[in-house]
Amino acid sequence: MGVLGAAGSHLAVAKVSANQAVRIGAEPSTLARRLILGIIGGIFLIPVIAMIEFTFRNGLAGDYTTSHWTGLFSEDSARTYRGLYQAIENSLVLAAVTVGIVLVLLLPTMVLVHMQFPRLKRTLEFICIIPITVPAIVLVVGLAPVYSVVVHVLGGSTWTLAFAYGITVLPYAYRAIQSNLDAIPVKTLSEAASTLGAGWMTVLWKILLPNLRRGVLAASFISIAVVLGEFTIASLLNRRNLQTALLQVSQSDPWVAVIFALAALALAFILLLIIGRLGSATPSRRKS
Amino acid sequence: MTATFNLTGPTPTASPAPPTGATVQLSAVVKAFAGHTALNSIDLDVAPGELVALLGPSGCGKTTALRSISGLESIDSGRILIDGADVADTPTNKRDIGMVFQAYSLFPHMTVLENVEFGLKMRKVAAARRRERALETLDMVGLTKHRDRFAHQLSGGQQQRVALARALVTRPRVLLLDEPLSALDAKVRVQLREEIRRLQTELGITTVFVTHDQEEALAVADRVAVMRDGRIEQIGTPEELYATPANAFVADFVGLSNRMPAELLDGQVHLHGCTLNLLGDPMPDGPVIALVRPEDIALAADGIAGTVISSSFLGSLRRTRVRLDDGTVVAIQHEVELHPLPGASVSVRLKGTPVSALPPKPKK
């Protein structure tokens, strides 16, 4: 899901700069475009449809029932799936803290490098891209001893996992913010603001942030999508989040697990749609 | 309108804004970037209410000088004084300056009015007063009806006008203009430079104007400082620079000059049988390239023979290019009534005005 999220943002970003890009070859015909979209859409859609179909199955009897869906709202199930709800809450907290890390740590760093230390841009980009090349399992091996310290200092609460997630979302968040930074004249705008009497914080808050809104929102939504879909790190570090809970539930009640998986998928889909809109809505405002 | 401004100047000091701007002094200012000396001991005095243009080719340090005054660039040594006070330790946002940039710099997420109000907001002027002042200033640049538009809905000229209003609304002590017209097309450029001059005179704001366009500098400035390689070659009124350039660089850079091979003898330029006085620093005797203004050459009944190459109508005058018999091509400015046709044989005469000279080009 995370990878899908990143691809979505790249598409949105590419649209913005398409005018300047050198066009290689001709545009495919409408038919070819629809065909490609249809095939890829089908490949994605088949498992989703299968999942939906599965949630209505009545065991192995071969007929259909809505009891798996209606059962979710009964008092019984509330007790049964308390762990799952707790896991959802954990994942949401993790998503929020991860977004916080991106906004508080990554964003100001990127703005600072962009304005004051442009020579460090390459280095920063390299550092931010690294996590995409490191498999989660390798990351965990490295993180395990770190987390033994983290647990010692901060306790074993779930939210501390956000430190690891903050690293895994770096490549996606970096791309989203950087493309926005490149699209606005950061230096001129902040210099103009400071000649008008604005201090550094005012420049960041009142001038740059509103113009980076698109990139910041995209980075946040992608981070949320990545965190909600994360399984490996949580599982190997013995934490409970949405995905590890889903796996556990699926062993006793596969229907409910699939229903929740569908819900998570729907949420991610909505986030991607919002990112897509952000990407396509702004260029008309920026044309001048 | 101006009176209202004077009474409510937002300068940090509580006293009302003075009728004229502040003094700006640069003394022995040095600034280097990675081995390249951008400012090589610059001295500059700008009087209150004066408009000084910094003119020079790209890379001469004019923009660096301006950015040093604004505080956007720190200096390596020397002093910058605004109203007599050293501003070395004053950050840009506390220098009480207004600046218009070459690149369009309006805040894209704010309307025209919000852009203009921004500086007043930073100075904590009350909302109602702020709006009133911003609208007054927008009125001065003739853009009140565009107050609710965004930057991308304005033309380049309108954007720079708003930027000017935004810089002026706080009634800054110093107005800094960094090639504000260079991104605009010719007609708008002339209109806007006249408007800048009008507003600057009306408000009496000390202004430093950076440009690489000599026509622009001569048209708007009280004084022009011609810069080269981080130094000021000459500073003076446009008339002084044009009539008595201190050296050949200034003569060549300011106004149009014909380059004509000549002989220098006893400090006088001998050119096509004429003896002309030499402007600027003395030079060793020998061959030189004389720099002769097009208006210092005339078409005449007899004189140096040549053939007309082309003749262009410039409205109030005509400029004709003539190839002299020695092969030199010269431009001559004359009245429109004379209309030499290309190919015609003509004679030209030097009017005898003093000229500048360059050392001859080394032979390859």
Distance from CA of B183 to the nearest CA of A (A): 13
Claim to verify: residue B313 and residue B171 sit in the same structural domain:
no
Q: Is the pLDDT of residue B7 over 50?
A: no
Lowest mean pLDDT among A163-177, B19-33, B350-364: B350-364
**CA of A187: which chain B residue's CA is closest?**
B105
Is the C-alpha dihedral spanning B93, B99, B103, B107 positive or negative? positive
A73 within some domain: no
Claim to verify: residue B11 and residue B109 sit in the same structural domain:
yes
Claim to verify: residue B229 and residue B260 sit in the same structural domain:
no
Whether A288 and B70 lie within 8 Å, measured CB to CB? no
Structure tokens that stand for A273 in this block: 């749609």
Claim to verify: residue B88 and residue B162 sit in the same structural domain:
yes
Asked if B160 contacts B151 with a C-beta cutoff of 8 angstroms, the reply is: no
* Domain tally, chain A: 1
Closest by CA position to B222, among listed B23, B66, B52: B52
Claim to verify: residue B113 and residue B58 sit in the same structural domain:
yes
pLDDT in tens, A49-92: 999 999 998 877 778 888 888 887 777 777 777 888 888 889 98
B250 within some domain: no
Instruction: Choose between A11 and B108: higher pLDDT.
Output: B108
Q: Which chain B positions have a beta carbon within 8 Å of A194's beta carbon?
A: 72, 91-93
Claim to verify: residue B209 and residue B339 sit in the same structural domain:
no
Element containing residue B125 per DSSP (H, E):
none
Question: How far apart (Å, rounded) are the C-alpha atoms in residues A81 and A96?
Answer: 23
From A189, A285, A287, residue closest to B105, measured CB to CB: A189
Give the position of tokens 């600057």.
B200
CATH number of the domain within which B38 lies = 3.40.50.300
Claim to verify: residue B106 and residue B204 sit in the same structural domain:
yes
**pLDDT of A279:** 57
Q: Is the pLDDT of residue B279 over 50?
A: yes
Claim to verify: residue B271 and residue B344 sit in the same structural domain:
yes
Claim to verify: residue B329 and residue B186 sit in the same structural domain:
no
**For the residues B267-292, what does the mean pLDDT come to?**
88
**pLDDT of B4:** 38
CATH number of the domain within which A215 lies = 1.10.3720.10
pLDDT in tens, B311-362: 999 888 999 999 998 888 999 999 988 888 999 999 999 998 888 888 887 6
Q: Which chain B positions have a beta carbon within 8 Å of A188's beta carbon?
A: 101, 103-105
Expressed as residue numbers, the domain containing B304 is 256-358
**pLDDT of B20:** 61
**For the residues B220-224, what does the mean pLDDT come to?**
96
pLDDT in tens, A198-220: 998 999 899 999 999 889 988 99
Beta bridge partners of B30: B40, B77
**pLDDT of A11:** 42
Residue A64, SS3? strand
Lowest mean pLDDT among A152-166, A182-196, B199-213: A152-166
Question: How far apart (Å, rounded) are the C-alpha atoms in residues A176 and B198?
Answer: 46
Quote the ipTM score: 0.82
**pLDDT of B129:** 96
* Residue B105 CA, distance from chain mean position: 21
Residue B172, SS3? coil
Which positions in chain A have a beta carbon within 8 angstroms of at least one beta carbon in chain B? 184-185, 188-189, 191-199, 202, 207, 210-211, 213, 285-288
**pLDDT of A265:** 85
Question: How far apart (Å, rounded) are the C-alpha atoms in residues A38 and A195?
Answer: 54
Residue A262, SS3? helix
**pLDDT of B339:** 87
CATH number of the domain within which B278 lies = 2.40.50.140
Burial of B261 (0-12, 13-18, 19+ CB in 10 A): middle
**pLDDT of B362:** 63
Claim to verify: residue B273 and residue B226 sit in the same structural domain:
no
Claim to verify: residue B213 and residue B91 sit in the same structural domain:
yes
**pLDDT of A280:** 56
Q: Is the pLDDT of residue B1 over 90?
A: no
A63 within some domain: no
Q: Is the pLDDT of residue A158 over 90?
A: no
Distance from CA of B98 to the nearest CA of A (A): 6
From A207, A211, A287, residue closest to B152, measured CB to CB: A287
**For the residues A15-39, what does the mean pLDDT come to?**
71
pLDDT in tens, A28-38: 888 999 999 99
pLDDT category at A256 given cuts 50, 70, 90 is: confident
B197 within some domain: yes
Q: Is the pLDDT of residue B2 over 70?
A: no
A198 within some domain: yes
Q: Which chain A positions have a beta carbon within 8 Å of B103's beta carbon?
A: 185, 188
Closest by CA position to B108, among listed A16, A197, A212: A212
From A189, A194, A213, residue closest to B93, measured CB to CB: A194
Whether B93 and A185 lie within 8 Å, measured CB to CB? no
| Contacts across the A-B interface (CB distance below 8 Å) | 77
Burial of A266 (0-12, 13-18, 19+ CB in 10 A): exposed
**pLDDT of A23:** 55
B249 within some domain: no
Asked if A100 contacts A173 with a C-beta cutoff of 8 angstroms, the reply is: no
Q: Is the pLDDT of residue B12 over 80?
A: no
* Domain tally, chain B: 2
Longest dimension (CA), chain A: 75
**CA of B176: which chain A residue's CA is closest?**
A195
Whether B167 and A194 lie within 8 Å, measured CB to CB? no
Which of B209, B243, B277 delimits the end of a domain?
B243
A28 within some domain: no
Whether A288 and B101 lie within 8 Å, measured CB to CB? no
Q: Is the pLDDT of residue B223 over 50?
A: yes
Percentage, residues of chain A above pLDDT 70? 87
Q: Is the pLDDT of residue B9 over 50?
A: no
pLDDT category at A25 given cuts 50, 70, 90 is: low
A76 within some domain: no
Expressed as residue numbers, the domain containing A232 is 2-20+82-286
Structure tokens that stand for B85 in this block: 């006070």
pLDDT in tens, B231-261: 999 999 999 998 888 888 898 888 888 989 9
Q: Is the pLDDT of residue A9 over 70?
A: no
pLDDT in tens, A78-134: 777 788 888 888 998 999 999 999 999 999 999 999 988 999 999 999 999 999 898
Claim to verify: residue B265 and residue B224 sit in the same structural domain:
no
Lowest mean pLDDT among B12-21, B89-98, B117-126, B196-205: B12-21
Q: Which of A119, A187, A195 to probe by mutation at the B interface, max B CB count within 10 Å?
A: A195
C-alpha dist (Å) from residue A277 to B47, B160, B311: 54, 31, 59
Q: Which chain A positions have a beta carbon within 8 Å of B176's beta carbon?
A: 195
B218 within some domain: yes
**For the residues A175-198, what does the mean pLDDT come to?**
94
Distance from CA of A116 to the nearest CA of B (A): 12
Whether A191 and B154 lie within 8 Å, measured CB to CB? no
**pLDDT of A24:** 61
Closest by CA position to B293, among listed B263, B319, B265, B264: B319
pLDDT in tens, B111-166: 999 999 999 999 999 999 999 999 999 999 999 999 999 999 999 999 999 999 99
B364 within some domain: no
